[in-house]
Amino acid sequence: MAGGRLSGGLIAAILWSQQTQQIPTFTAEVEVVNILCSVRDKNGALVPNLTRDDFIVVEEGERQQIRYFTRETDVPLTLGLLVDVSPSQERLLEIERRAAAQFFESVLRPKDLAFLISFGAEVELLQDLTSSVELLRAGLDRLRLSGAVGGLHPGPVPTIHQPRSTALFDAVYLAAREKLEREVGRKAIVLITDGVDVGSRVKLEEAIEAAQKADAIIYAIYYVDPEAYSRRGFFRFPSDGDLKRMAEETGGRVFRVSKKRTLQHIFDELQEEMRSQYAIGYTPTNPAKDGSFRRIEVRTVKKGLKVQARKGYYALRREP
């Protein structure tokens, strides 16, 4: 499922959910741009009752005709949880382990899949794609601190052979390319990190591009341990700028953990958002598969509503 096009699996899911709406049927050979979006009102509350006619989609300045639309929340979800295990997160790991286990238990449904990756000096796949909460819990139990150490370490991800500090961009890139690109349905990457990257082989732009080509939304949970930075003599916390860029370009957003907004509260918010999405499909007026990046904008007819959706897609040729 590359280049922003719906695969047969997601098409079938949307059609199944809309049988009573008499949506014309079509085959998996039809090239359709898929957009998943959330809508909020001026108070930040999710708006769950919009229809196809409430949305406007524009690609490269030209309005597109929305052909397929659903509010169905049972479209299968493939979720990757990426946890920062660098030294700055040492005191937070147990909190993350408990909250993530509850999140998996709450969000995953029978047709959903999830995987777990940790990243620090190494990027490691702790649990491959599964629908088993028990296996994901076992993966969370294997979360271990990973500092900037040298030497070879066994593991399934090929970035682990060089010492580094926090391979955040590598982790996002590998999750998108190796785990999500071939999956169908709704796809998301959830990051728990303080946003620092030191030592990744790929750049921020490459990580974003990989997520866009995989049709994956990035949700970032910005979690900073103040004591970890004060012990090192830093007077300022790391920025969440890179996290914001990854999230905004792919249709996600950044959540900030605070005393009033715990990690568990954020997981609850994230679960609600992921189950309150609109799926929009259109056949682009420009049919060329030239590999270019096409900018898209989604907005609502009604003023005062904010649409959260990805900024574009790559018009890639279908693989044989």
Specify the pLDDT at position 228: 80
The pLDDT of 68-79, averaged and rounded, is 83
Is-contact 22 285, C-beta < 8 A? no
State pTM to two decimals: 0.84
Q: Facing residues of 59 across strands?
A: 62, 296
Per the model's pLDDT, the better-predicted residue between 10 and 50 turns out to be: 50
Sheet holding 254-256, edge to edge: 123-130, 113-119, 77-84, 186-193, 216-222, 254-256
Q: Domain 77-271 adopts which CATH fold?
A: Rossmann fold (3.40.50)
For tokens 């491959």, name the residue: 128
Query: 148-178: per-residue pLDDT in tens?
Result: 643 333 333 444 444 567 999 999 999 999 9
**Same fold? 8-73+276-314, 77-271:** no
Q: What is the DSSP string of 171-235?
A: HHHHIIIIIITT--SEEEEEEEE-S--BS-SS-HHHHHHHHHHTTEEEEEEE---HHHHHHTT-S
Structure confidence by residue, pLDDT tens digits, 4-19: 433 444 444 444 344 3
Mean pLDDT confidence for 180-209: 94
Read off the pLDDT of each residue in 226-239 and give the average, rounded to a whole number. 72
In degrees rounded to 5, what are phi and psi of residue 47? Answer: -105, 110
Residues in contact with 160: Cβ distance below 8 Å, sequence separation at least 6, in sequence order = 122, 123, 124, 152, 153
Mean pLDDT computed over 215-237: 81
**Which residues, 6 or more positions from 250, have their beta carbon under 8 angstroms from its beta carbon?**
208, 211, 212, 216, 217, 218, 310, 311
- Say how many C-beta atoms besides its own lie within 10 A of residue 46's C-beta: 15
Residue 75's pLDDT is what?
A: 77
Q: State the pLDDT at residue 162.
A: 44
Domain boundaries of the chain, sorted by first residue: 8-73+276-314, 77-271
Q: 8-73+276-314 has which fold?
A: Immunoglobulin-like (2.60.40)
Q: DSSP 3-state assignment of 165?
A: coil
pLDDT, tens only, 84-122: 999 889 999 999 999 999 999 988 988 899 999 999 988
Higher pLDDT, 75 or 33: 33
Give the model's pLDDT for residue 306: 96
Supply the pLDDT for residue 4: 41
**Rounded-to-5 percentages of helix, strand, coil across the chain:** 30, 25, 45
In this prediction, residue 232 has a pLDDT band, given cuts at 50, 70 and 90, of low
**Bridge partners for 296 per DSSP:** 59
pLDDT digit string, tens, across residues 297-313:
999 999 999 999 999 99
Average pLDDT over residues 63-87: 89
Is residue 231 predicted with pLDDT exceeding 90?
no
Flag the least confident range among 27-36, 71-80, 193-202, 282-291.
27-36
170 CB-near residues (< 8 Å, 6+ apart):
119, 123, 159, 200, 201, 202, 207
C-beta contacts of 236-240 below 8 A and 24+ residues apart: 237/194, 238/194, 238/195, 238/196, 239/195, 240/195
